[in-house]
């Protein structure tokens, strides 16, 4: 089985211990590697993952450029960096153009950590630049494991898609963590990618299969949300829930290969 992991997290070696510790042990959250690039690569080797997309989050506008300098400096070809962006960053068009010139395929945005709702008008400069450079946006979608509320509601994403129909985006956590009834109501069948990050074990298997099939397996990506899950166990879980070999190949490899990873 060929596997690309479309949703992982890593941190510079100097800050990885604190970053991992900030979430570990809360609401059952556990880290399965140490949050470093080396730790991710070791997990990939154990799990048979060929490439991983890393999804950095800038919690302050001042972090955007330094994070992007770091992720674009990771030399290992198995690591596919997305860039960081923040709604209050002063020059999103310029920074996104810089990322595009470096071959970066997308950015990550996180409503709870960055204080925005995806359909807001103030997001327009970011979205317009992403569309201009034919890039992707990976959004945290739905609730947050440490916060039951959300600004990243499926209805807000539906409004965003209505307003910016050319925006190519990936909605993490199968469209909305802990909001899967609303995902069915607002998002299933729309022209948007979903990923599986942190979903196996948190949504009953028949419902995972149902959403994937109703939305279309050609619009779903495997994501582990590492280090917060064991990548190998996530792969094994999805392999045994009743998806066909063709559906599994699409979710695990083909969709990311076509849309994100230039191998």
Q: Where are the alpha helices (DSSP H) in 24-153?
A: 37-47, 64-72, 92-101, 111-114, 124-132
Calculate ∠ Cα 223-102-249, nearest 5°: 25
Q: What is the mean pLDDT of the chain?
A: 95
d(CA 225, CA 208): 16
Q: Is a pLDDT exceeding 70 seen at residue 176?
A: yes
SS3 label, residue 241: coil
Q: How confident is the model at residue 257 (pLDDT cuts 50, 70, 90)?
A: very high
- Token output for 106: 């997308």
* Beta pairing class for 220-221 and 168-171: unpaired
**54-81 per-position pLDDT tens digit:** 999 999 999 999 999 999 999 999 999 9
Per-residue pLDDT band for 164 (boundaries 50, 70, 90) equals very high
Residue pair 35/17 in contact by the 8 Å Cβ criterion: yes
Which residues are bridge partners to 108 per DSSP? 84, 138
Domain extents for the chain? 4-259
Mean per-residue pLDDT, 38-54: 98
Task: Record the pTM.
Answer: 0.96
CATH topology of domain 4-259: TIM Barrel (3.20.20)
How far apart, in whole angstroms, are the C-alpha atoms of residue 71 and residue 113? 19
Element (H, E) at 235: helix 231-239
């Amino acid at each position: 089985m060929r596997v690309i992991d479309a949703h992982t997290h890593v941190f510079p070696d100097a800050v990885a211990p604190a970053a991992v510790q900030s979430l570990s042990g809360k609401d059952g959250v556990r880290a399965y590697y140490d949050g470093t690039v080396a730790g991710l690569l070791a997990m990939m080797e154990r799990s048979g993952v060929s490439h991983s997309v890393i999804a950095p989050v800038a919690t302050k506008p001042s972090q955007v450029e330094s994070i992007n300098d770091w992720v674009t400096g990771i030399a290992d070809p198995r690591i596919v960096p997305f860039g960081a962006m923040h709604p209050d960053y002063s020059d999103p068009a310029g920074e996104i153009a810089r990322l595009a010139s470096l071959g970066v395929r997308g950015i990550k945005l996180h409503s709870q950590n960055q204080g925005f709702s995806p359909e807001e008008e103030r997001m327009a400069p970011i979205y317009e630049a992403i569309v201009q450079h034919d890039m992707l946006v990976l959004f945290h979608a739905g609730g947050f494991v440490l916060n039951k509320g959300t600004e990243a509601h499926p209805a807000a994403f539906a409004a965003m898609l209505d307003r910016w129909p050319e925006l190519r985006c990936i909605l993490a956590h199968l469209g909305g963590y802990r909001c899967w009834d609303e995902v069915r109501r607002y998002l299933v069948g729309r022209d948007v990618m979903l990923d599986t990050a942190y979903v196996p074990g948190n949504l009953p298997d028949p419902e995972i299969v149902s959403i994937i099939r109703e939305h279309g397996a050609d619009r779903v990506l495997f994501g582990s949300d590492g280090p917060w899950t064991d990548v190998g166990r996530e792969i094994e879980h999805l392999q045994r829930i009743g998806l066909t070999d063709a559906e599994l190949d699409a979710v695990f490899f083909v969709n990311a290969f076509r849309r994100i990873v230039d191998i």
